[in-house]
Structure 1
Amino acid sequence: MAKSAGGELRTFYAYASSPLWISPDGSLDPAARALLELVQTAEYDGIAPAALEAAELAEAIQAAEAQRTPEALERAELLLSRTLAAYVAALRRPTDAGMIYEHDALRPELPSTYLTLDQAAKAPSLQEYVRGMAWMHPLYAPLRRTLLTEGGSAAARQLAIRNLERIRQIPAQPRERHVLVDTASARLWMYEGNRPVDSMRVVVGKPDSQTPSISGWIRHAIADPYWNVPSDLVRKTIAPGVLRGGAAYLKARGYEVLSGWEEEAELLDPKSVDWRAVQRGELDLRVRQRPGASNAMGEMKFEFPNPFGIYLHDTPDKDLLAKEARYFSNGCIRLEDADRLARWLLGGTAAEASSGPEQKIDLARPVPIYVAYLTAHADGDRIALGPDPYGRDKLGGTALAALAD
């Protein structure tokens, strides 16, 4: 069979101990029909079925099932392998769906033909591997299947397709841990491989200060953190507060004024600052809040580099986490249980930091985090629609509820 193939296909079959798609009794594995169904409906993945030669594949499968001649079976075998490799590559090819990556290594990896087929050959069940689209994030295949079985409205189906595009920006992590935050539902999941092992509520950005779709690596936790107040809040909130209440406003809230953003920055006397210039936006001033019970960061935060200064953190405002709609922050992600996330990230009981502020606790290995915006998911064999708080799908809560009926 290797002689009939070319390129990486030939390399795979040169080392394969048996055919991938042909069963020992000479019949095609049920995975062949499962792949054909995916290819024939590839428009749900943003791929034209014709680009994957769906008609040619259907003809080859039909001939192999009807004739079972060595020639027909070999043709089907090679075409199925070639099509699987092309389909997986097309699904993982980079597209612009709004996700901003800290590094290209966080993007879905574009696999070689050999690697795709080798992973398929090692699967316990080829049929389940193909049907479950194991090369994709585990949220993908269940939602896609609803498009084959769901009799919902055209608008709901279009929304599912839009969310599939977003999920394609999140790679499969079959052997790695990762964190997924869905800003639409304001929820966080902890994944081990492709299995969610824990989940918690979060508070995310308000509609006028939206949490962006970003990815990065969580490298460490910081116990008893300072809160470096964003410049716009210094201008809009703190400067007016000082102008009304003087230095006592800062003292009562645990704020400090510093000379700059460098590590060795010195504390400034608030009375030496032109607060009116700060309020007008003419002076960019660094203000931070000391660790303590009222600190906006709570007792711990988790940073991952990104251009927006977004991070995960504890919060003293636990009452907000009890609300159904949790869109209250200025963009950062507030955690229901920071200690529980720390234990998972650090691999056991959260390490006790030494006394003093800003105690850094390194992770043994960085953990990827993906912050996405998902307004549709699979609920059994139906499309379940969630909130669209940022209006990115031009659907409010009422409209989404109507589509779900």
Structure 2
Amino acid sequence: MRVGLRKMVSSLTSGAMIGALTWALAPGPLAAEPVVAAANATIDADMVRKAGGEIYTFYAERGYRPLWLDGQGQPGPGAQALLELLATASIDGIDPARLDLDALKAAIASAQSRSPADVTRAEILTSNAFVTYVQMLRTTAGDAMTYEHPNLRPQSVPAYHILKDSQNASSLGDYVAQMRWMHPLYATLRGNLTTVESDGSLKKALMSSLARVRGIPNSRRQVVVDVASARLWMYEDGKPVDSMRVVVGKKNTPTPLLAGYIRYAITNPYWNVPSEMVASNIASNVVRRGVGYLRAGGYQVLSDWSANPGIVDPATINWRVAARGGLDLRVRQLPNGGNFMGKAKFEFPNPFGIYLHDTPQKDLMLRSARQFSGGCIRLEDAQRFGRWLMRGDFQTEADRPEVKVNLPAPVPIYITYLTVQAVDGRMALGPDPYGLDLRQVPMTASAPRSGTPPS
């Protein structure tokens, strides 16, 4: 039964763990799956050979045993699950007509005649439809994510490997129904979309969140940050293994949607104050309180942005001009207990200069809406995050500033924006702090106090 979306929508709580829900809410196992093909059941080798290409290679390697149909020409659970997905492919942003679903249904119906030619034709068409569908899903659906490297994008996979992965699944029916070639968030959200009616701005939110997840491939280890709910997850082998709260960018300084590789950490870091913050905050405070403000906060004025700048006497600076934005000054904060970078930061090259870092302002993590930064991502527990990245010990204490610690291997990070999730089997409408998806008033954070750093 289809139900109205508004009856099924509930608000996400601030601590809702999207990743942890993924597996709990993923489509459950199908009924006990019979052996798809009897040991001696085969399809017509000559017809498969004429089909050629990777389809031929795949079936020849498995002795021409059918994958989708049983020895009586009946579709197995995998084929049934595939037909359901193809019938609702418009949810994925795919025109079902491109999948030739009617021809596939007719071929499967004809296969019940048990004619070797009909069974073979249905088997080949089912494999072709599955490969086409999977390959279409591996495009990014036009989402706005910026990828630092092409390898971070969902990758096109050859037909042979797509079929081989499905063959190796313990249950073909579950593999297809749960769309295990996609990110684990995808099937959960998609499955709930098929049970609701939607319109207007709510439909836009649903489809936008699904398209954004579609732009995240499923990799062995990865970090996913949802800006909308201000939360981070650590994934291993398709499962969330840890999660924490984060602080993300304000609406006027939003955290961009991007993907990169976390390559190293810096312990005992400096905080290089952004130029706009020097004018709006640092310089104005010096005008009001004198250069003692800089000493008390552990700030230094530097000569330039080179790797080895000189230190400038702040008494030589016209701070009133600087407060009006008339000077381009480099100011950094020394590592100390109040340093706005905390004890560590984690770098991943990107055109926006975004990174993750520790923070001394732990109280902000208790807020339900956590959009306070200038775009960078502040971590609830940088030490725990570092241990996961390093696969073991992570020491943040150092006897000198800016100690670089390389990761054992780069870890992909995907920063996305999800305003709709599946919670307890229902659609849950979460906050939309940047107003990207909904017409209603977005849930946004109020500034905790003046002078909060933007990073």
Tell me, yes or no, whether TM beats 0.5: yes
For residue 254 of structure 1, the aligned residue among 298, 302, 326 is: 298
Query: For residue 208 of structure 2, what is the amino acid of its counterpart?
Result: R
1:377 paired to 2:377: no
> Match for residue 37 of structure 1?
84
Q: Secondary structure at the match of 2:194?
A: helix
Q: Secondary structure at the match of 2:312?
A: coil
1:189-268 to 2 correspondences below 5 Å:
189-268=233-312
Q: Secondary structure at the match of 1:76?
A: helix
For residue 4 of structure 1, the aligned residue among 44, 50, 62 is: 50
> Match for residue 63 of structure 1?
110
> Match for residue 453 of structure 2?
none
**Aligned counterparts of 1:126 and 1:138: Cα–Cα separation in 2:** 16
**Aligned counterparts of 1:289 and 1:316: Cα–Cα separation in 2:** 14
Q: Is the 8 A contact 1:353 1:361 kept in 2?
A: no
1:175-211 CA distance string (max 9 Å, x none): x110000000000000002000000111111111111
For residue 278 of structure 1, the aligned residue among 298, 322, 328 is: 322
For residue 338 of structure 1, the aligned residue among 382, 392, 399 is: 382
> Match for residue 52 of structure 1?
99
**Aligned counterparts of 1:203 and 1:237: Cα–Cα separation in 2:** 20
Gaps of 5+ in 1: 400-405
**Aligned counterparts of 1:261 and 1:378: Cα–Cα separation in 2:** 46
1:343-377 CA distance string (max 9 Å, x none): 11111232355411111111100100000000011
1:83 paired to 2:120: no
**Aligned counterparts of 1:380 and 1:9: Cα–Cα separation in 2:** 40
Query: For residue 438 of structure 2, what is the amino acid of its counterpart?
Result: K
Of all paired residues, the percent bearing the same amino acid is 51
1:127 paired to 2:173: yes
1:317 paired to 2:364: no
Instruction: Give the C-alpha shift of residue 146 in structure 1.
Output: 0.7
**Aligned counterparts of 1:20 and 1:59: Cα–Cα separation in 2:** 18
**Aligned counterparts of 1:281 and 1:32: Cα–Cα separation in 2:** 65
Instruction: Give the C-alpha shift of residue 155 in structure 1.
Output: 4.8
1:260-314 CA distance string (max 9 Å, x none): 1211111111122233443333432111111111110111111111111111111
Query: For residue 32 of structure 1, what is the amino acid of its counterpart?
Result: A
Q: Secondary structure at the match of 1:139?
A: helix
Instruction: Give the C-alpha shift of residue 246 in structure 1.
Output: 2.3
> Match for residue 74 of structure 1?
120
> Match for residue 97 of structure 1?
143
**Aligned counterparts of 1:178 and 1:107: Cα–Cα separation in 2:** 13
**Aligned counterparts of 1:239 and 1:126: Cα–Cα separation in 2:** 64
TM-score by length of 1: 0.93
**Aligned counterparts of 1:225 and 1:5: Cα–Cα separation in 2:** 60
**Aligned counterparts of 1:257 and 1:308: Cα–Cα separation in 2:** 24
**Aligned counterparts of 2:247 and 2:398: Cα–Cα separation in 1:** 28
| Greater Cα offset, 51-60 or 273-282 | 273-282
Gaps of 5+ in 2: 1-44, 444-455
Instruction: Give the C-alpha shift of residue 63 in structure 1.
Output: 2.1
Instruction: Give the C-alpha shift of residue 27 in structure 1.
Output: 3.0
**Aligned counterparts of 2:192 and 2:262: Cα–Cα separation in 1:** 33
> Match for residue 21 of structure 1?
68
Q: Is the 8 A contact 2:286 2:293 kept in 1?
A: yes
Q: Is the 8 A contact 2:270 2:334 kept in 1?
A: yes
**Aligned counterparts of 1:166 and 1:257: Cα–Cα separation in 2:** 42
1:126-166 CA distance string (max 9 Å, x none): 11111111111100001101122235666544422221111
**Aligned counterparts of 1:307 and 1:360: Cα–Cα separation in 2:** 21
Q: Secondary structure at the match of 1:360?
A: strand
**Aligned counterparts of 1:352 and 1:374: Cα–Cα separation in 2:** 32
**Aligned counterparts of 1:223 and 1:154: Cα–Cα separation in 2:** 48
Q: Is the 8 A contact 1:388 1:395 kept in 2?
A: no
**Aligned counterparts of 1:287 and 1:96: Cα–Cα separation in 2:** 39
Give the 3 Å change call, closer, same or farther, for CA 43–20 of structure 1 in structure 2: same
1:287 paired to 2:331: yes
1:4-51 CA distance string (max 9 Å, x none): 312222222222233221235653221111111111111101110001
Q: Secondary structure at the match of 1:67?
A: coil
**Aligned counterparts of 1:56 and 1:13: Cα–Cα separation in 2:** 21
> Match for residue 304 of structure 1?
348
> Match for residue 358 of structure 1?
402
**Aligned counterparts of 2:321 and 2:71: Cα–Cα separation in 1:** 80
1:50-77 CA distance string (max 9 Å, x none): 011111112112222x323212211111
TM-score by length of 2: 0.83
Q: Is the 8 A contact 2:304 2:330 kept in 1?
A: yes
1:163 paired to 2:209: yes
**Aligned counterparts of 2:418 and 2:115: Cα–Cα separation in 1:** 47
1:392 paired to 2:427: no
| Greater Cα offset, 117-126 or 23-32 | 23-32
Report the RMSD for the aligned CA atoms in angstroms. 1.8
